[in-house]
């Protein structure tokens, strides 16, 4: 990458594009098997989960419906505020439906724990979670994540949907930022 590439701001690559795509295919295979003959609704949490949603849904062999919810707890910083706000609610009524939440990362777990409680009150037939990354050392509230991609160290990461101040989401891999980015 040359000077102008956004990858120049990275300290290291944690998960390569190839590793991400291989994991997506593996998880899609499990989901296809588990939901055979069931109507599945994928619910992605914007904006971070947009890449996982796009790749995972295309890797599935069965029909699925897609819906999106936008919640935010991070703002522009690197720490969860713990206060989750709904920015956009689902279009679909999920009562009696098989719902799979698609997430990019389980960090403190606060976003997902709030979301699971919220969606449960709408009485889906089933509710599970697929997250491409999890930080086991950062989790503050235990969440049962049925489909997990990678357990990663407790470092702030960007790429594959994850941002720092709304940047770096469009990197096709996951990495950590160089210190100069934070001091700018
Ligand atoms: O486990 P937690 O500590 O709650 O963190 C995980 C959540 O935080 C990020 O979203 P954010 O609220 O930053 O919004 P975004 O997806 O638009 O970046 C990320 O996409 C997850 O949804
Ligand atoms: O490590 C992270 N990076 C970017 N956004 C995030 N939201 C939760 N954890 C992270
Ligand atoms: Mg974010």
CA distances from 168 to 38, 69, 107, 129, 179 (A): 36, 21, 18, 24, 15
Residue closest by Cα to atom 21 of ligand 1: 105
Please say whether the dihedral angle defined by the alpha carbons of residues 49, 131, 99 and 143, taken in this order, is positive or negative. Answer: negative
Q: Which residue's CA is minimally distant from atom 6 of ligand 2?
A: 162
- Regarding the beta carbon of 74 and ligand 2, being less than 6 Å apart is answered yes
pLDDT at 118: 94
For 136-161, write each residue's pLDDT tens digit. Answer: 999 888 899 999 999 999 999 999 99
For the chain, the structural domain boundaries read 17-152
Please tell me what DSSP assigns to residue 150. E
CATH 3.40.50.1400, domain 17-152, yes or no = no
Residue 3 predicted with pLDDT over 80 = no
**Cα separation, 180 vs 173, whole angstroms:** 20
Q: What is the pLDDT of residues 118-136, one digit of tens each?
A: 999 999 999 999 999 999 9
- Measured from the CB, is residue 111 less than 6 Å from ligand 1? yes
d(CA 27, CA 34): 11
Whether the predicted pLDDT of 34 surpasses 80: yes
| pLDDT computed for residue 76 by the predictor | 53
């Amino acid at each position: 990458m040359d000077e102008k590439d956004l990858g120049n701001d990275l300290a290291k690559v944690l998960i390569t594009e190839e590793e991400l795509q291989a994991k997506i295919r593996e998880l899609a295979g499990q989901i296809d098997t588990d939901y055979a003959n069931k109507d599945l609704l994928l619910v992605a949490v914007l904006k971070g989960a947009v890449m996982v949603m796009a790749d995972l849904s295309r890797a599935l062999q069965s029909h699925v419906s897609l819906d999106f919810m936008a919640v935010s707890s991070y703002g522009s910083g690197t720490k969860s505020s713990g206060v989750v706000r709904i920015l956009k609610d689902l279009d679909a009524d999920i009562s009696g439906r098989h719902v799979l939440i698609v997430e990019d990362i389980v960090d403190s777990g606060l976003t997902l724990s709030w979301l699971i409680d919220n969606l449960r009150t709408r009485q889906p037939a089933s509710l599970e979670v697929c997250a491409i990354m999890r930080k086991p050392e950062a989790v503050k509230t235990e969440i049962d994540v049925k489909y997990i991609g990678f357990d990663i160290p407790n470092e702030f990461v960007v790429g594959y949907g994850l941002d720092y101040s709304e940047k770096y989401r469009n990197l096709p891999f996951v990495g950590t930022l160089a210190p100069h980015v934070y001091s700018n």
